[in-house]
Chain A
Amino acid sequence: MANVNPAMDGKIPQADVKIAKKKRSQWFEVWLRLKKSKAAMVGLAIIVILIFSAIFADFIAPEGIDDQDLDRRFVSPSAEHFMGTDHLGRDIFSRIVYGSRISLQVGFIAVGIAALAGGSLGAIAGYYGGKLDNGIMRAMDILLAIPSILLAISIVAALGPSLANVMIAVGISSMPSYARIVRASVLTIKDQEFVEAAKAIGANDLRIIIKHILPNAMAPIIVQATLGVAGAILSAAGLSFIGLGIQPPNPEWGSMLASGRHYIRDYWHIATFPGLTIMITIFGLNLLGDGLRDALDPRLKN
């Protein structure tokens, strides 16, 4: 018997090996290009440190999130309290370390919601076209007519301030950009031959969109998502700053900043460090996002 079933003799067919290699090398090449950019590596390092501190917050932070001690209120940065203490005598550094958990969570989940909801709508609009496309995109236009921070504010105002609602609000308000990006990519890809081939062998629409079109539209989505995490963290911090976000005593960076604002004339450190942390985080994500855009699509690079 010439035709041996690969499952029986334990060998993987040659063609599959080639495809696997090609797939790996494609992403490997992106990684090589990304590695060349010092800026992107700095960004990646910042994000890795942040993720690390979120995971190991219990070991890194010297104190808990709400260890109040009124005898040591407003202590300036010192060897003991490297970022000082706040108006309730809590160690600011510890709260910032724990705060990374909240900010990263908000950032990633909000972008997840936006990319999933916006992306699906964009894919449907682009793939099916016609009235459905028109309807979906006009709905997105309506959402775009409200400045996103304002939309997020009104959604949280309606749902009530909480971590989950902030994620939903920020997610919904950034949805339209994903819908537009995915739709545009789907439009350029859907008429290509490999999609036609998939149709010809009888793949259904869902399979074509998920297996054939989306993997080829990934590049702009990844870039938008990286920059989107930055935007989501900023929006969430802004919401908390005006008292509509994560509620105390949770150490959200924006709300820490807001509570420090009243003491800014005498105790600069309370508002300064959370803001600095937000800035470095967003800076890192932006560096990485820019680097990824150049690495994923070298044509765009100036």
Chain B
Amino acid sequence: MHKYILRRLLMLIPVMLGVSFIVFTMMYITPGDPARIMLGESAPTEEVEKFREELGLNDPFFFQYGRFVKNLVIHQDIGRSYTSKRPVTIEILSRFPNTLKLATLGIVVAVVLGIPTGIISATKQYSIFDNAAMVAALLGVSMPNFWQGLMLILLFSVHLGWLPSSGFSSYKEMILPALTLGTSSAAIITRMTRSSMLEVIRQDYIRTARAKGQTESVVINRHALKNALIPIVTVIGLQFGYLLGGAVLTESIFGISGVGRLMVESINARNFPVVQGGVLFIALTFSIVNLMVDILYSFLDPRIKSQYK
């Protein structure tokens, strides 16, 4: 097991190198001279040229990439923000807790809504509840979350006046963003829970459990759900990554100062080191979450544990 975790952690290195290469290349091909952006439009050309030399922007592509990776690995340095002049790592780390909190709340909403609905749908297949839940789930997947956020604001903030439309410090302020972000994932988790449960419910051991007189709730929760969990947990892990990315839109709707909003602002300001850092950081978080999901499998299913060597 330890060996497995170590191997997976080592595998993160080439993936993150790849991500850094993509991110670096994208910023490299982006039109606009960083030296010019930093010094301002009015700076004399000679000065810009001198600054380019200082920054190493005249070096060959791979040389620059090598330096980028070296700084990243040794000094955890992704450069400085063009606008605030602060190190990008600090800019991102100061905003990251909000994004993480938002994504976590979103996934909590998704799990709390999704798993029970999926289970009931599966146990009462083709009932009115099931049909209604499936239509609702499909609508949930189909709704653009930025639009849903606006509609929630319209209903709960503008018309009913129950909840604030922006901010992210009190629990009241977190409800709408979490709902906005979590709905589509809730829908996906509902669908996955239902189909995974349906598959398990048909197995012989469920019939055996029922035949030996086990109560229905034990059959469903202990026998069926436990065996249906693997694909559900996989989806939850993937959704978490999706929520980290989707937070970009939710954060800009509710005015939450997280990594997503920072990135949108930075793109508009052509503040590329911050964009670079944001993508790298979220990709790293996403990879770590997926790794944790894989490790979680072994606790859910002892058969998988024996395969991890």
Which residues of A are in contact with B by a Cβ distance under 8 Å? Answer: 138-139, 141-143, 145-151, 153-155, 157-160, 230, 234, 237-238, 241-244, 254, 257, 261, 264-265, 268, 271-272, 274-275, 278-280, 282-283, 286-287, 290, 302
Contacts and interface: CB of A to CB of B under 8 A. Distances in A.
Contacts of A158: 26-27, 29-30
Nearest to A146: B283
30 contacts: A142-B22, A143-B22, A145-B16, A145-B19, A146-B22, A146-B283, A146-B286, A147-B244, A147-B245, A150-B278, A153-B263, A154-B279, A158-B26, A158-B29, A237-B144, A241-B249, A242-B248, A254-B146, A257-B144, A257-B147, A268-B154, A271-B147, A272-B154, A274-B147, A275-B147, A275-B150, A280-B142, A282-B142, A302-B194, A302-B198
Given A150-B245, A271-B150, A272-B151, A242 B144 contact: no
Interface of B: 14-16, 18-19, 22-23, 26-27, 29-31, 125, 138-139, 141-144, 146-148, 150-151, 153-154, 158, 194-195, 198-199, 241-242, 244-246, 248-249, 252-253, 263-264, 267-268, 272, 275, 278-279, 282-283, 286-287
A238 B144 contact: yes
A146 B30 CA distance: 19
Contact of A146 (B27, B148, B282): B282
A241 B268 CA distance: 13
A234 B267 contact: no
A146 B279 contact: yes
A104 B141 CA distance: 18
Contact of B245 (A148, A272, A275, A286): A148
Contacts of A153: 248, 263-264, 267
Nearest to A287: B138
Contact of B139 (A264, A275, A279): A279
B146 A238 contact: yes
A150 B263 CA distance: 10
Contacts of A282: 141-144
Contacts of B252: 242
Given A147-B245, A149-B248, A154 B143 contact: no
B239 to A, nearest CB: 10
Contacts of B267: 153, 157, 244
Contacts of B148: 275
Contacts of A279: 139, 142-144, 147
B14 A138 contact: yes
B264 A264 contact: no
Contact of A150 (B141, B248, B272): B248
B266 to A, nearest CB: 9
Contacts, number: 137
Contacts of A148: 242, 245
Interface centre among B138, B245, B272 (most CB of A within 10 A): B245
A280 B244 CA distance: 26
Given A154-B275, A155-B26, A286 B248 contact: no
10 A-B pairs with the lowest CB-CB distances in the bound complex, closest first: A147-B245, A275-B147, A142-B18, A282-B142, A283-B142, A158-B26, A150-B245, A158-B30, A157-B267, A302-B198
Contact of A230 (B142, B146, B263, B275): B142
Given A142-B15, A242-B248, A160 B150 contact: no
A253 to B, nearest CB: 9
A151 B242 CA distance: 11
B286 A154 contact: no
Contacts of B151: 272, 275
B256 to A, nearest CB: 14
Given A145-B19, A264-B150, 6 more contacts: A138-B15, A150-B244, A238-B146, A238-B249, A274-B147, A279-B142
Given A155-B26, A264-B154, A147 B242 contact: yes
Contact of A242 (B18, B29, B244, B264): B264
A146 to B, nearest CB: 5
B284 to A, nearest CB: 8
A283 B139 contact: yes
Nearest to A150: B245
A232 B141 CA distance: 13
A139 B158 contact: no
B286 A147 contact: yes
Contacts of A278: 144, 147
Contact of A142 (B19, B195, B244, B282): B19
Nearest to A283: B142
A237 B148 CA distance: 13
Contacts of A146: 19, 22, 245, 279, 282-283, 286
